[in-house]
Structures are given as structure tokens and as C-alpha cells.
Amino acid sequence: MVTINLYGKKSCQLCEHTKRKLSFFLKKWGYEDRVLVQYWDLDTVDGLAEATFNDVLKTPATVVAKDGNHVARWEGAVPDSNELKICIDGGKSTAAA
């Protein structure tokens, strides 16, 4: 299974844009059933702890994992939709961590 962890803040416009973009493209591609999206709010203790554990330094941070292995990561930027699709479909992105 593919998991996308999005780390952000509600007050961050770029974070909110990233959330909307992920939702839009996952629906467009018909991937809602095969991709789990988890949003971590860095204004909460749990979100901040998760971000610290995963070395998140900038928001928004988007981390794509497949079967528990990180395959791509974007920090301080909205993911490119083409690279995101490549990651979900099984290839490695040039943005890979």
C-alpha cells in the first residue's frame, strides 16, 4: 500500500493548497482506494512529534512511502503531480529522499 504523509499547519496557505491538490489528483486518477493520506498538523503535539521523528524541517512536507519504504519527499514545496503519479505507480521520483 502507498501512504502519503503530509505535514503542515492550518495557517499555512501552501499546506492547505497541497492538501487540496493531493485530494484532487487522487480522485482524478482513481487512487482513493489504494493510497492512504495522513495529515499531520504541526500545531498539535502528535503532529509535531511525528514530524520530529521523520526529520521534517519545512512545511509543507509530503512524504510518499510504499510498503513502509520512503520513495519520495518534498519539503517547502507542493509536489509535482507527474512525479507524484510516478511514485504511486511504483517508480522512483527524482524528488526521492
User: What mean pLDDT, rounded, does the chain reach?
Assistant: 91
Express each pLDDT in 14-59 by its tens digit.
999 999 999 999 999 999 999 999 999 999 999 999 999 999 999 9
pLDDT in the model for residue 1: 87
Task: Estimate to the nearest angstrom the gap between the alpha carbon of 36 and the chain centroid.
Answer: 10
pLDDT in the model for residue 97: 42
Contact 70, 64 (CB under 8 A): yes
Q: Does domain 2-89 have CATH number 3.30.420.40?
A: no
Please report which helix (H) or strand (E) contains residue 46, including its range: helix 45-53
pTM for this entry:
0.87
